[in-house]
Amino acid sequence: MDGGTGGMYARQLELSNVLSTQIRNVQGESKQLVHHLAKVKQQVKDATLESMSGNCTRIGPVRLQNHRTLRGHFNKVLTVSWHPDNRHLATAAQDGFLLFWDSTSGLKKNLIRLDDPYIICSDISPNGHMVATGGLENACIIYKLHSSPDSETSPKNSIVSIFKGHREYISDLSFVGNSQVLTSSGDKSIVLWDMEKGTRCNSFNGHLGDVLGLSVNPRDPNMFVSCSSDRFSNLWDVRSPLNRRQFQTSQTHDSSAVKFFPDGYSFACGTDDGEVKLFDIRSDCELSNYPVRQVHQHFRSYKPEEQVVEDSASSMKLSTKSSMVAALDNPGVLSIDFSKSGRLLFASYAEYSSVVVWDCVMGTIIGTLDGHRDSVSKIKISPDGLGIATASRDHTTRIWSV
């Protein structure tokens, strides 16, 4: 018996060594292929967006007015989403409530007590009838909004659907039409849910780390892009869940935020080291880079921590000094979004309470949105492009416009 057991262990050890050797060989071949593909892409890449922008007209400093400051939450506001009427919006915070606002008057129109108090993401359906939420409870919960956003009294809120299936937290979500929802999760997967059937349609598995964000193509809802802590962004098609295209966003840092360009042919991705890169899905390569060193240089000369902003809704003065606790909690890029034309890129960073406005073509900083006292968790441009909502860890949401 002892001899048989010893022989079995010896065979298992030998098999383990053989498998380990094969895995190392395959990993080495994989790295060589990655380097070879990178060289081929670099040879094809004969120009960058910045090098081709010589004939482009430069635009002056961007100065947007703080139209409204929405106060009502008692904890960090982590997500905001616009209603398709371009006037109303929903905010969710770690206080366990989702508030529905009129952005023009600053009045609360509705309140939903969330079944999951630890909300990270939300989205309003294209028809404006539902709002989906996701967070640390591993479930996507869809609530019904009142039928008339302009009514002062709303009917009792009800849960439309609860989708459970993720093994970890839900990091981001987005409606695909009025009957389907995409959710990304820390369990390394993305799931497409069908609200009418109450089941999952497809699962998208290909990331090797937590999926931290997703964005649906505004021109083709069948396509979406995701970013992950595996330092890659993946381009997917809902009709072919087994196939994907990969874009390496960083060699050393996680990919934390992603957003499609308005024309649907490019997307931007931000990483934990503060870099933002623009990728083109047609040429399959990087178009431009918006380095974090420019952000540091801008704020060293601008000194936003010494600025005091007068709030239009009250006489209280707000210091814009950044929160070091927030920077340590979630470093780098927190949120990004494009203007309606795509010329402007808005980005928020954990180290600063101001939103940085980039000129996408020139690759330069042309303005900031100052006023928050803590980091901005989410930036959302209204569907018509005339309004910008910034949800912050200072418990407020600000509405900006020209």
Averaged pLDDT for residues 87-116: 92
In a domain, 388, yes or no: yes
pLDDT value at residue 285: 85
pLDDT value at residue 151: 44
**Residue-level length of the chain:** 402
pLDDT value at residue 310: 40
In a domain, 169, yes or no: yes
- pLDDT greater than 50 at residue 305: no
In a domain, 12, yes or no: no
Cβ contact 123:79 at 8 Å:
no
Total domains present in the chain: 1
In a domain, 317, yes or no: yes
Averaged pLDDT for residues 348-356: 94
pLDDT tens column, 129-175: 999 999 999 999 999 986 454 444 343 458 899 999 999 999 999 99
Q: Tell me which residue range forms the domain holding 131.
A: 65-401
Residue 330's pLDDT band (cuts 50, 70, 90): low
CA pair distance 261, 217, nearest whole angstrom: 8
pLDDT tens column, 20-62: 888 888 878 877 887 777 777 777 777 777 777 777 888 888 8
- What mean pLDDT is reported for the chain? 86
Fill in the DSSP letter of residue 95. T
In a domain, 23, yes or no: no
In a domain, 44, yes or no: no
CA pair distance 131, 137, nearest whole angstrom: 17
Residues of the chain with pLDDT > 70, as a percent, come to 89
57: which residues sit within 8 A by CB, 6+ positions away?
Answer: none
In a domain, 123, yes or no: yes
Q: Which residue has the higher pLDDT, 315 or 348?
A: 348
In a domain, 188, yes or no: yes
pLDDT value at residue 157: 53
CA pair distance 277, 271, nearest whole angstrom: 9
CATH code of the domain containing 148 = 2.130.10.10
pLDDT value at residue 323: 36
What is the full DSSP assignment across 23-91?
A: HHHHHHHHHHHHHHHHHHHHHH----TTTT-TTSPP------EEEEEEE--SS-EEEEEE-TTSSEEEE
321: which residues sit within 8 A by CB, 6+ positions away?
Answer: 304, 305, 353, 373
Lowest mean pLDDT among 143-147, 196-200, 282-286, 305-309: 305-309
